[in-house]
Amino acid sequence: MASRVDRSAFSEWLWTVDHLLLAGFVTLMLGGIVLSFAGSPPVAERLGLDSYFFVKRQALFLVPALGVMLGASMLSPRMVRRVALVLFGMGLVALVLTLFTGVEVKGARRWIDVLGFSVQPSEFVKPAFVVLIAFLLSEAGKRPEVPGRLFSILLFVMVAALLVAQPDFGQTMLVLIVWAALFFMAGLSWVWIGALGILGMLGMASAYMLLPHVTARINRFLDPSSGDTYQVDTALEAIVQGGWLGRGPGEGTVKRILPDSHTDFIFAVAAEEFGIILCLVLLAIIAFVVLRGLGHARREPDPFMRLATAGLMVMFGIQSAINMAVNLNMMPAKGMTLPFISYGGSSMVAVALSMGMVLALTRRRPRPSRTAPVVVRRVARTPVDPAK
């Protein structure tokens, strides 16, 4: 254990990082490994792979994810911005390459092969996008002559266009929500908020009318008899069969016929085997880290750090809410992973990077004093001649 008098970089990090936030993130990571044991073996067997293929891969991804999170948590706010800028540039190039050389899965090109691993560039673009938007809006607030809002709109249009081209409407929706939340927290007028809301509704209406897969998903949600709702129905069956306490580890049966039990529907598998109580515990941990991160953001006087922290935590919370809502049939299927829990190397490492940035931005730092120190100056006195 490092001593408080130790001035090394590790010791400084250890005594300034938010230990409760760090513990919450690590708990979710380890929980993902446990739930991977429950949900992934049937999928691996259906694909002709070793029963614990996905479990081993998830454990393998855990090591670099922890390294990325801890490494990012040691960055200064300035380095967080620089890393985000480099990552955003590389991510945009990768998104463009995905459209031409990406691996097509279920009619979408969202992954590219890098050294034998499938990488989803959009997962890494999201945290970089949030940090850059926070920087642009904070600069616009401090210096009105800086066109930060205009640049942030242009960045959003670029990212949204590339995501829709894949197509990935779920990620586009998530980016839109976080981008709008940052604009709101930056003090945007209600006129702009109303205009953005109208544009958002027009965009969703256009997606419904122009994108066949979006139309099909929304129609199936509104009218289950209009299409195949097998996965959602099976997920609901798993949740109902689990009850409050679950059927027991390894005793679930619905997961054997649920195609995406290790990714999009891992929450349903957890409910069947471990019960609704465990799902509520999982929900409580996610809510705790989100609210604690937003609490840090509320107390942060620096505009950039406040917006970046809040934006990253909103993204984490909204993505978690979307995944759980889909499992409960409360919204149309989005293909959204549950952060740190669902199987996926790109998702785990990217979320670890995002939360590492949150840990870096919320570390305790000395605050400038509100009162200036009083400087006492001694005035030399000229000796008085008694003769005068």
Q: What is the pLDDT of residues 329-343, one digit of tens each?
A: 888 877 788 999 988
| Residue in the block written with tokens 């009083």 | 374
Lookup: tokens for 337 = 């992973």
Count up the domains in the chain and report the number.
Answer: 1
For residue 18, being part of any structural domain is answered with yes
What pLDDT shows up at residue 308?
Answer: 95
Three-state SS for the chain is CCCCCCCCHHHHHHHHCCHHHHHHHHHHHHHHHHHHHHHCHHHHHHCCCCCCHHHHHHHHHHHHHHHHHHHHHCCCHHHHHHHHHHHHHHHHHHHHHHHHHCEEECCEEEEEEECCEEECHHHHHHHHHHHHHHHHHHHHHHCCCCCHHHHHHHHHHHHHHHHHHCCCHHHHHHHHHHHHHHHHHCCCCHHHHHHHHHHHHHHHHHHHHHCHHHHHHHHHHHCHHHCCCHHHHHHHHHHHHHCCCCCCCCCCCHHHCCCCCCCCCHHHHHHHHHHHHHHHHHHHHHHHHHHHHHHHHHHCCCHHHHHHHHHHHHHHHHHHHHHHHHHCCCCCCCCCCCCCCCCCHHHHHHHHHHHHHHHHHCCCCCCCCCCCCCCCCCCCCCCCCCCC
For residue 110, being part of any structural domain is answered with yes
Q: Of 92-96, 216-220, 322-326, 365-369, which range is least confident?
A: 365-369
What pLDDT shows up at residue 370?
Answer: 47
For residue 369, being part of any structural domain is answered with no
Alpha-carbon distance 206 to 164, whole Å? 12
Q: Which of 299, 277, 355 is nearest to 66 (CA)?
A: 355
Q: Which domain holds residue 260?
A: 12-361
Q: Which of 190, 142, 138, 141 is nearest to 297 (CA)?
A: 138
Lookup: tokens for 331 = 């919204």
Alpha-carbon distance 131 to 126, whole Å? 9
For residue 381, being part of any structural domain is answered with no
For residue 339, being part of any structural domain is answered with yes
For residue 373, being part of any structural domain is answered with no
Say whether pLDDT at 293 is over 90: yes
Q: What is the pLDDT of residues 63-120, one digit of tens each?
A: 999 999 999 999 999 999 999 999 999 999 999 998 888 777 766 778 887 777 778 8
For residue 76, being part of any structural domain is answered with yes
CA triplet 132, 135, 140: central angle to 5 degrees?
130
Q: What is the CA radius of gyration of the chain?
A: 25
Alpha-carbon distance 140 to 152, whole Å? 10
Given a contact cutoff of 8 angstroms between Cβ atoms, the answer to whether 362 and 355 are in contact is no
Given a contact cutoff of 8 angstroms between Cβ atoms, the answer to whether 109 and 339 are in contact is no
Q: What is the pLDDT of residues 157-185, one digit of tens each?
A: 899 989 988 888 888 889 989 998 998 88
What pLDDT shows up at residue 3?
Answer: 55
For residue 372, being part of any structural domain is answered with no
What pLDDT shows up at residue 371?
Answer: 46
Q: What is the pLDDT of residues 307-337, one digit of tens each?
A: 999 999 999 999 999 999 988 888 887 778 8
Q: What is the pLDDT of residues 21-69, one digit of tens each?
A: 999 999 999 998 888 888 788 888 888 888 888 888 888 889 999 999 9
Average pLDDT of the residues of the chain:
83
Q: Which of 307, 304, 312 is nearest to 351 (CA)?
A: 312
